[in-house]
Chains A and B, each alone.
Chain A
Amino acid sequence: MVRAVTSKDSYNDCRISVENLEVIVNRSRIILINKYTVGRGLHLILGPNGAGKTTFLKILSGIMPPGSGSVSVCGDKPRQVRDMIGYLPALPEVDPLATVENVIEAGLYDSSIEDESEAINEAIRLVGISQLVGRRFNTLSSGEQRLVCIARVLARRPRILLLDELFNFLDISNKERIFRIVREYTVRNNAITLVTTHEIYYAGLFDTVTVLRKGDIIFHGRPENLGEKILHSAYGIGIISLRVKGKTLFLPRHLVE
């Protein structure tokens, strides 16, 4: 099975922690986070469009420099632990002529993986895209492209997964499958996995949920403590919660009224 690369012995204590992070782009404040700390597990970040979710993940993955404040991933700056990070952008920006194998192989840049072809094949098997091997990226459907990009992230065997809009373009069965694969990977490898999505009904399946609004954290905690009011104040629409088999399911109110 896919095992993550360990570049630090003290990994089990590894945390992502952010303090007094402030990001200002073109004079408007995108992010203002006083404190955010998570350890290993599955963590969800919710928030309306433009709340700063993507910017937050870009800072944690070292793509964007933090404006001010401190960001540490396993005790280091994100740029110093890049071989441990697997980043999935919300939209693919892949060269249309690249093949499925090209995408996964190019994604192993500067990783500490020794047997590259084994890592590629394992990721292809894990995500279940062997039927797409040999196809060029521009001949795939959006959902298939998404699966290839997810396989690209997993092939790197990261300890930190930063998955922006994980469920984008996936049909309901692929959503379920990918969620299960990511959860199993996270548990097996003691990984720290951050997911952003607009599928609020997934909230109950995560270890922690964070709700962002205008760059601000308005909720951070266990999903059981998440309430309709918080989601309402984040999204500005009516939200109802349903209790099903001991789990809380959030839905936009307009679906049932």
Chain B
Amino acid sequence: MKNNFFLLAILPLIVLGLFLLGLSYGTTGIIGLREILDWVKGSDNGVLSYRFIRTLAALVVGAALGSAGLTYQFSLRNPLADPYLLGVSTGSAFGVVLALITSGPSPGTVYLYGLIWGIVAFLIVAGIGAYVKSGPTSLIVAGVSISYSFFGLIIIMINMFPEAQMISFTWLFGTVAYALKTYLAVTATLTIVSISYMFLYRRSIYALILGDSTAKSMGVDVEKVRLYTIIFASLSAVGAVALAGPIGFIGLAAPWTARLIFGSRFSTVLYASIMLGMASTVASDLIVRALSFNGEIPLTAVTALFGGPLLFYLSRRTGW
């Protein structure tokens, strides 16, 4: 944990490199650096404009999932927590399927429904959590229960409206292929607000790893910090899901990898987790592009393929 400054310092370079690859590589062929520079200077290039938004969406979603997952882990004091644990992703997915069925694949409606239903699901979970009021475990139980209920509704809806099946399928496993500038901007704003909160309250969130009574003895308002932390983390998670669907594993694997390499000082590992989230989402999307022969394959197909073995390896390394 001592000589990690070098690793921490090269993380942004890795992200930048992957971002450039995201501009350069795609199903319609490879674009050279000169063309990219011309495009930056203002020359028209439809393919690059598309790839730019797509890659940027992957970056934003990765940052949102990496930071939200880590913050959930700290505030729920559960290293297996991920950004979807409290039901926002299934709530959001329910909203999207509802939008697809009622108004077809209209991006604005899909995004708005995803956002609203994600927030609705979170409010139900937080409400139950506040009502029961017995610490992180009851919140997790409420989240998992609400997730299952929404999941049941999704399956019933998809079954009732077969014409929405294909697009629902792609969306339910996450993709940044259809991200639009406007909605990307909204999600990016939510993510920046959320990360700013996490950074400002880094010391209180860090103190939560010692347990509720120790944190309280030092003056941390544990219930308030936990509530706000979860609200802000859920905000960026909902933004990510509404934009790109519930992409799996990133929100669990990025914080875990970060904590395993860099320890658990919140500020350091927040930075690392954001970087790793961005890098892994862009890298996964590059693999998606390489494998998409018959239309877009969902991102979770790739993240799950690599994420499964990675999680197993990490759990061995952690001693579980």
Chain A residues engaging chain B, CB cutoff 8 angstroms: 58, 61-63, 79, 82-83, 85, 87, 89, 92-99, 101-103, 105-107, 109-111, 134, 136, 138-139, 152, 156, 162
Instruction: Across the interface, name the chain B residue whose C-beta is closest to A96.
Output: B79
Contact with A along B79-100 (1 / 0, CB 8 A): 1000000000000000000000
Q: How far is the CA of A107 from the CA of B206 in the complex (A)?
A: 9
A111 vs B204: C-alpha distance when bound (angstroms):
12
Whether A109 and B206, one on each chain, are in contact in the complex, defined by CB atoms closer than 8 angstroms, is yes
Bits for B1-16, please: 1 = Cβ < 8 Å to A, else 0. Answer: 1000000000000000
- B217 and A85 form a contact (CB under 8 A): yes
* From A101, A106, A136, A139, residue with most partner B Cβ within 10 Å: A106
Q: Which of B1, B212, B219, B319 meets A109, CB within 8 Å?
A: B219
B181 within 8 Å of A (CB atoms): no
Given A136-B319, A138-B319, A93-B219 contact (CB < 8 Å) = no
Q: Across the interface, which residues of A come within 8 angstroms of B133, CB to CB? A: none
| A–B complex contacts, Cβ < 8 Å, 25 sampled | A62-B216, A85-B217, A87-B214, A87-B218, A92-B211, A93-B211, A95-B77, A96-B79, A97-B260, A99-B263, A101-B1, A101-B265, A103-B210, A106-B207, A106-B209, A106-B210, A107-B207, A107-B214, A109-B204, A109-B206, A109-B220, A110-B218, A110-B219, A111-B218, A139-B319
B259 within 8 A of A: yes
Nearest A residue (CB) for B265: A102
Contact residues of B with A, CB < 8 Å? 1, 73-74, 77, 79, 203-204, 206-220, 259-260, 263-265, 318-320
B208 CB contacts on chain A under 8 angstroms: 95
Q: Which residues of B contact A89 (CB under 8 A)?
A: 211, 213-214
Q: Is the CB of B215 within 8 A of A109?
A: yes
Other-chain contact of B74, A95, A105, A111, A139 (Cβ < 8 Å): A95
* CA distance in complex: A162, B209 (Å): 20
Candidate in B73, B216, B318 with the most chain A CB atoms within 10 angstroms: B216
CA distance A89 to B318 in the complex (A): 25
**Residues of B contacting A99 with CB < 8 Å?**
1, 263-264
> How far apart sit A61 and B263, CA to CA, in the bound complex (Å)?
29
B74 contacts across to A, CB distance below 8 A? 95
> Closest Cβ of chain A: how far from B287's Cβ, in Å?
28
Q: Are B203 and A109 in contact (CB under 8 A)?
A: yes
* Cβ of B48 to closest chain A Cβ, rounded Å: 41
Interface centre among B74, B218, B220 (most CB of A within 10 A): B218
Query: Which residue in A87, A95, A110, A134 is a CB contact (below 8 Å) of B264?
Result: A95
**In the complex the two chains form, what is the Cα distance from A122 to B185 in whole Å?**
48
A136 vs B211: C-alpha distance in the bound complex, in angstroms? 16
Cβ contact within 8 Å between A82 and B218: yes
Distance, CA A253 to CA B217, complexed state (A): 38
Is there an interface contact between B203 and A93, defined as CB atoms closer than 8 Å?
no
B14 to chain A, nearest CB (A): 23
- Closest A-B pairs by Cβ, 5 of them: A93-B211, A87-B217, A95-B209, A109-B207, A82-B219
> Would you give the shortest CB distance from A92 to chain B, in whole angstroms?
7
CA distance A83 to B213 in the complex (A): 15
Contact B214 A93 (CB under 8 A): yes
Given contacts A97-B318, A109-B204, A138-B319, contact A102 B209 (CB under 8 A): yes
Q: Given contacts A95-B264, A136-B319, could you give 12 more A-B pairs where the C-beta distance is less than 8 Å?
A: A83-B219, A87-B214, A93-B77, A93-B210, A93-B213, A95-B210, A99-B1, A101-B263, A101-B265, A102-B206, A109-B219, A152-B214
- B residues near A61, Cβ cutoff 8 Å: 217
Which of the residues B209, B213, B263 comes within 8 Å of A58, measured between beta carbons?
B213
**Which single residue of chain A is at the shortest CB-CB distance from B74?**
A95
Shortest Cβ distance from residue A112 to the other chain B in the assembled complex, whole angstroms: 12
CA distance A92 to B212 in the complex (A): 10
Q: Decide: A106 and B206 in contact? CB cutoff 8 A.
A: yes
Cα separation A82 to B217 with both chains bound (whole Å): 7
- Tell me if A98 and B213 are in contact (CB < 8 A): no
Q: Are B213 and A63 neighbours in the complex by a CB distance under 8 Å?
A: yes
| Chain A residues with CB under 8 A of B209 | 94-95, 98, 102-103, 106
For the complex formed, measure the closest distance between the CB of A144 and the CB atoms of chain B, giving whole angstroms. 14
State whether B259 touches A97 (Cβ < 8 A). Answer: yes
